[in-house]
Structures are given as C-alpha cells and as structure tokens.
C-alpha cells in the first residue's frame, strides 16, 4: 500500500497534484527489503506502531508522533513494519507546492519541497495533534470529490493550513545550518522570498536576478533545474494569484487592479490575465460572485 500511494499518478487526481491517505491498519503486501523510487513529494506522519525504512544511505526508525519528509525521486527500502501501524500520508507534485508558496508567510514551507535529503522530526503532543487534524481536514475535503464552490475553497485553505504548520515546525525543530542546502537551492529560496514581496510591482526576471546579484540567465537556469518551470512562468503565476485575490476579495475595478499590479492599463492586464487563465478578469470576478451566491 505504501508503495502504491507514494507513487500514485497525481496528475490524474481530482485535485490535480495532491493526494492524502489515512492508513488505519497497514498490511505488508511486499517482501521485506523490496526497494522502489518515490515519484512524488511526500510527508508521512506516524500515529502508532513502528516503521523502519531506508532513504538513500539513511535509515529511519519511525514511531508515534514522528514526521518524515520524503523528497521526490528518493530511493526507498521498506525494512520492517510492526503490528498496528497507523499513519497519515500526503503526496503532492512540485507544481502544486510552488503554486501555494507565493505568499511571503509560506516561503519557509518551501524548504521542505526542494531538499534532496529526508528529514525526520519527532513532534511534541500538541504539534502532532494539530498536524493530524489538518491531515484529516484535507482527507475529508478531498473525499467529497468536488472542485466547485465551498469544497474548492476548503481544499485550498486546508492545504495552506498544512503549509503554515510545516513552516512552524521547520522554525521550531530545525536550524538553517542543519538543512545543508546547496548554493543553488539557497538562491531559489531567496528568489521565492523576493517574489512573494515584490511580485505586484516587479514583473521582470532582470529585477529578481539583480536583487540576488546574479545574471538573469543564471537565475533562469537554477529555477528551471530545481522546479522544472521557467522563471517567467513562476513570476506570471504569482501575479495571477495576486490578481485572483484582488478580483475575489476587493471592490477595486479591473482598471484599479491593473494599476495595483503595475500594468500600463486595464487592456494590457486583461490580455495577460486571459493568456494565463483562459478567462477575462471581469468574467472571473462574475464567476467568483456566482460561486458565493450558490454556497
């Protein structure tokens, strides 16, 4: 079951990049020491029992209240499982994670998603209970199998709650030195931090590269290598995220929003928005209002 879940095809998931499973009683369905590659980013939270696995050269003995971050493309070997194993597993794609890390309050959570090494943390009782409740919220929202109205909003909120809690856990249990990021990974984290602060007004790769004292070409190469997406696309996605928030939550006109996001005029903003969402800003706002009325 663990093998099947860790390598689930997330692009076919109803939520296009996120899946969560609550395992109440794990039964071994593979021979001991069978190994496989983990295709997704995964976070495992132990509720009870014991699990012994090897990730690359590191062996992890997991028991109740242990949190394990499993990087994408990790080589995993299941070594031992004890009876009454209960755990939570969440798996997601890099694209799903990055789309939810543009807020400056959530950039720290991105540390979990670019690390090439596994990270084990033994949580205290309070942090375990909070995180397990968030897992359950994501699970039951996803179980509804809907992507409209209040269910879609709960889906977004519940994953953001997970990111907030991971950010808190990162700050409480680890130090930057212990994470041992490469220079390229640090540049990427710094880029996301600057992007979350300045994306409303700064739309060029040159600005972000200059802020990091590197060339635009080098920044583009790093971002593409680690995230798999061009830096221009990430900048555009962050602008679209801000635009959607303004269209949904404010009384500003489309022209006012265009000015707020540093576009020369409403027409330029509308063309940009439609190119990246396939819908005009005015239509997006109308649809958002209709969703609220139907809730």
For residue range 33-89, list pLDDT tens digits in order. 678 888 778 889 999 988 899 988 889 999 999 999 888 888 888 888 876 788 888
Contact present, 159 and 99 (Cβ < 8 Å): no
Q: Is the pLDDT of residue 292 over 60?
A: yes
What count of residues does the chain have? 295
What is the homologous superfamily of the domain 182-290 according to CATH? Homeodomain-like (1.10.10.60)
Residue 198 CA to residue 144 CA, distance in Å, equals: 36
For residue range 221-234, list pLDDT tens digits in order. 999 887 778 999 99
CA distances (Å), 42 to each of 13, 66, 76, 90, 113, in order?
Answer: 15, 14, 12, 6, 9
CA distances (Å), 157 to each of 134, 174, 256, in order?
Answer: 10, 25, 27
Q: Is the pLDDT of residue 294 over 80?
A: no
Structure tokens at 12: 């076919």
Structure tokens at 197: 């602060």
pTM, entire model: 0.68
pLDDT value of residue 231? 94
Residue 90 CA to residue 5 CA, distance in Å, equals: 9
Higher-scoring residue by pLDDT: 180, 60: 60
Q: Are strands 41-48 and 66-70 parallel, antiparallel or unpaired?
A: antiparallel
Residue 284 CA to residue 289 CA, distance in Å, equals: 9
Higher-scoring residue by pLDDT: 289, 12: 289
Report the alpha-carbon angle 135-137-141, nearest 5: 120
Higher-scoring residue by pLDDT: 259, 102: 259
Boundaries of every domain in the chain: 2-178, 182-290
What is the homologous superfamily of the domain 2-178 according to CATH? Jelly Rolls (2.60.120.10)
Question: Beta-carbon neighbour count of residue 273 at 10 Å?
Answer: 27
For residue range 13-40, list pLDDT tens digits in order. 545 667 777 777 665 554 456 788 887 7
Residue 267 CA to residue 118 CA, distance in Å, equals: 47
B/e letters for 138-170, b = 16+ CB within 10 Å, e = fewer, are bbebbeeeeeeeeeeebbeebbbbbbbbbbebb
* Residue 283, helix vs strand vs coil: helix
């Amino acid at each position: 079951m663990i093998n099947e879940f860790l390598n689930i095809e997330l692009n076919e998931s109803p939520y296009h990049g996120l899946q969560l499973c609550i395992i109440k009683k794990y039964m071994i369905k593979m021979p001991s020491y069978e190994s496989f590659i983990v295709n997704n980013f995964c976070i495992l939270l132990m509720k009870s029992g014991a699990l012994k696995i090897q990730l690359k050269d590191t062996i992890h003995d997991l028991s109740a209240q242990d949190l394990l971050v499993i990087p994408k493309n990790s080589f995993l070997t299941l070594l031992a499982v004890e009876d009454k194993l209960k755990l939570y597993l969440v798996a997601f794609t890099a694209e799903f994670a990055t789309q939810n890390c543009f807020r400056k309050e959530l950039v720290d959570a991105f540390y979990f998603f670019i690390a090439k090494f596994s990270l084990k943390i033994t949580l205290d009782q309070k942090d375990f209970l909070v995180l397990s409740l968030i897992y359950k919220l994501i699970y039951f929202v996803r179980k509804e199998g809907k992507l409209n109205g209040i269910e879609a909003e709960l889906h977004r909120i519940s994953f953001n709650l997970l990111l907030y809690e991971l950010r808190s856990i990162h700050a409480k249990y680890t130090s930057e030195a212990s994470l041992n990021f490469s220079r390229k990974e640090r540049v990427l984290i710094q880029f996301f931090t600057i992007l979350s602060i300045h994306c409303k007004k700064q739309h060029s790769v040159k600005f972000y590269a200059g802020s990091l004292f590197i060339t635009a070409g080098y920044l583009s190469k790093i971002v593409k290598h680690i995230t798999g997406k061009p830096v221009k696309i990430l900048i555009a996605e962050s602008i679209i995220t801000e635009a959607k928030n303004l269209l949904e939550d404010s009384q500003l006109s489309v022209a006012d929003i265009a000015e707020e996001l540093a576009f020369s005029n409403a027409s330029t903003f509308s063309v940009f928005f439609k190119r990246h969402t396939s819908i005009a800003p005015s239509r997006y706002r109308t649809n958002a209002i209709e969703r609220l009325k139907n809730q």
